[in-house]
Chain A
């Protein structure tokens, strides 16, 4: 698998990263390196081996349906760049 500049630009857009045009080439090279490294795994024969969700011998923990959290709007908003009347304020997004 090999990434071209257009694909890197798209990946950047999907991650909301602004990538300068002159950096695309270099990033493509770096990402290709990572992909190539991961692709080595494909050399292992996994025929008949079920996918593994986790290496820990754990089951998903289920919580009780009880209200144990929330009620702290001031903490939730503490890091907001802009807030008013208990709401986060963001640049207008309208469909």
Chain B
């Protein structure tokens, strides 16, 4: 499915690459022993190194190295057993060192791949260019004072993984799918919590356009886009801007821009006049980062099952469609719930209940699947009750709603509320006779050839049985009574 924009000078293709900053899950910062916990009092989690005090030296956190390697393995990427930390020099109020410790020429992780699951059920591969470790900057608050900015350095020094894609995406949907898939992989691995609201994951989006078949044109980088939806919007808006400029005879300059979701526009960052000149050089305070093949192998051995493998297993073992399997593995909590529910039950039916009624109920009540009032094993039990004929599919919907309200066990609810399906032909016959006796004119019409009314009788009789009559038996009985 290709995404092309029709302009006045022909069709335009959009070329997108993403740089994602993912905060590493660790107790302490990348080079200091200060805590990384979110939401502490301002500047309460700052070591002297983090605020640029003279004479302080960085010492690398082993866990952050492990997390970066683990992420690299999860992205099927080349692990560089020797990498180098560099200083990226620039001045900003939230960067007290005057430089960011990052990796430039020799990153810890090299090329890899990520598989996108698209809406139409197809998959597409996107290349990973590199992953490197670096420190985060502090946080500025600009709305606290008319002439001052407030600076909190708690985040300064926290480990980030910058994950750079190749310019392989061609539509807003693919950019969104990439971010979603990357987030899922990081969360499965437990290397980043993927919480975009708290800023644990932020994306810089590179966009350019060209006529199909042309070489790449100039790109613009849109900084710090913080949700999947905004990434998709920013791509669309920036691509349109490029096309308008080109078609009006203008040129696009390579620059850094900001996305304003309220106005639906991108605009150049003011600092662009200070064209960035980072003067990277190897950090003299840090020796090269080196580790053994065994170190990597040990991490590899401890990798959890990732979304792609899980999806393949759901398709193979449970006979689910690629689309259903994709939905169920997108969040690791959903996959865990499904696996707990499906054990020993009809997988397709369980999948339908989870993706249909359960998702709807969670949406309605604003709950996460981990807080689901319905225990996963109760979904399996409900499916069994339908399968063995204890309740009808229609009654099951009612039972499910009671399960959502009370958290009860389905068999118990059916018992207590007397919802068991009536399969006793004597009892069903009694109900049918009553309905026919109460509507002699309509019964005569059916006998006179108006068979459409049969459905009406079925509905009435089902209502009279409070929905409990076995639909197959009921249908058969009404046909026999009225048509002979």
By a beta-carbon cutoff of 8 Å, the part of chain A in contact with chain B is 10, 13-14, 16, 53-54, 58-73, 76-77, 82, 84-95
Contact = CB atoms under 8 A, between A and B. Distances in A.
A8 B140 CA distance: 31
| Main SS class of interface, B | loop
A65 B43 contact: no
B149 A86 contact: no
Contacts of A14: 89, 277, 279
B481 interface: no
B140 A93 contact: yes
B437 interface: no
Contacts of A64: 61-63
A2 B21 CA distance: 39
Given A60-B287, A69-B34, A87-B42, 19 more contacts: A14-B279, A62-B60, A62-B65, A63-B61, A63-B62, A65-B26, A65-B27, A65-B64, A67-B34, A73-B41, A73-B44, A76-B43, A86-B43, A86-B44, A89-B151, A90-B148, A92-B149, A93-B140, A93-B149
A13 B27 CA distance: 38
A86 B42 contact: yes
Contacts of A10: 277
Central interface residue in A13, A54, A65, A90, by most chain B CB within 10 Å? A65
A42 to B, nearest CB: 17
Central interface residue in B84, B141, B152, by most chain A CB within 10 Å? B152
A76 B62 CA distance: 26
A95 B270 contact: yes
Contact of B33 (A16, A61, A68): A68
Contacts of B391: none
23 contacts: A13-B274, A59-B290, A60-B286, A60-B289, A65-B27, A65-B63, A67-B28, A67-B35, A69-B33, A69-B48, A70-B35, A73-B46, A77-B43, A86-B42, A86-B43, A87-B144, A88-B93, A88-B151, A90-B151, A92-B145, A93-B140, A93-B149, A94-B149
B290 A76 contact: no
B299 to A, nearest CB: 14
B150 interface: yes
Contacts of B148: 82, 89-92
Contacts of A67: 27-28, 33-35
B271 A88 contact: no
Contact of A66 (B28, B269, B286, B289): B28
B243 to A, nearest CB: 26
A2 to B, nearest CB: 19
Contacts of A77: 43
B282 interface: yes
